[in-house]
Amino acid sequence: MAFPLQLHSSSLPIRHETRLCFLPNPIKASLSENTPQFRKLLPQLVTSVPAKSLNFFLSGTLALAFSFTGVGFAEGLVGVNKPELLPKQFTTVIDVAGFLSDGQERRIAQEIDALEKDTGYKLRLLAQNYPDTPGLAIKDFWKVDDNTIVFVADPTFGNILNFNVGASVDLDIPRSFWSRLAGKYGNIFYWKEKGEDASVEAAVMAISTCLREPVSANNCSEVK
């Protein structure tokens, strides 16, 4: 899996692509996500792209209208920018989908705060159901930079875990970690059985564990 965004460069232009250009052989946007052909190809899309394409799904599933690594989104998944869906006060957890209880939100926010204090990495969580999402508005709200991981929980494409990894994080964390994490806790069988909230909490804890490991050739080799 790979991601399309590196939210690390605010100077890069916002692009609206008309094809899924994260594939080895780009598929034209006329192949709608609602067609049987697209649904048949979807497992291949998820497994054929490199690790960074995991968060690249953001430009489609999350409708973050920006694609910082040049990855576009399929026709029909229109970019969304709804700042009115943002909370009035700053928070590291935004749950517009209602996946999390108040207690879960507090626990996750506390873990994220502790992680940032201890490591400098900034984890941010957005739970949504496309197209009900603040979309592009989260970039400024969270002041996304090179040390930021934007974790978007959205079941639109089956796998609920999507990530946008900043440049500094990408240097320290193996790209394979994100695909293994999505494979373990984000697959449709896991979150359908245990619930979206369980998938999100498990992923947050796994990310926290990984980011606390010393950077080495073997860091984050296991998804815990």
Q: In the chain, what are the domain boundaries? A: 19-212
**Per-residue pLDDT tens for 165-198?**
999 999 999 999 999 999 999 999 999 999 999 9
Domain 19-212 in CATH 3.10.310.50? The answer is yes
Half-sphere exposure (Cβ direction) of 111: Cα atoms closer than 13 Å = 22
Q: Is 158 left (phi over 0), alpha (psi -120 to 50) or beta?
A: left
Q: In this structure, which amino acid lies at residue 100?
A: L
Alpha-carbon Rg for the chain in angstroms: 16
pLDDT at 47 over 90: no
pLDDT for residue 39: 46
Mean pLDDT for 64-93 is 64
Output 57 or 158, whichever has higher pLDDT.
158
Nearest to 72 by CA among 126, 33, 26, 120: 26
pLDDT for residue 157: 84
Confidence of residue 78 (pLDDT cuts 50, 70, 90): low
Q: In this structure, which amino acid lies at residue 56?
A: F
Of all residues in the chain, the percent with pLDDT exceeding 90 is 62
Q: How many CB atoms lie within 10 A of CB 132?
A: 15
Displacement of CA 200 from its chain's centroid (Å): 11
The model's pTM: 0.70
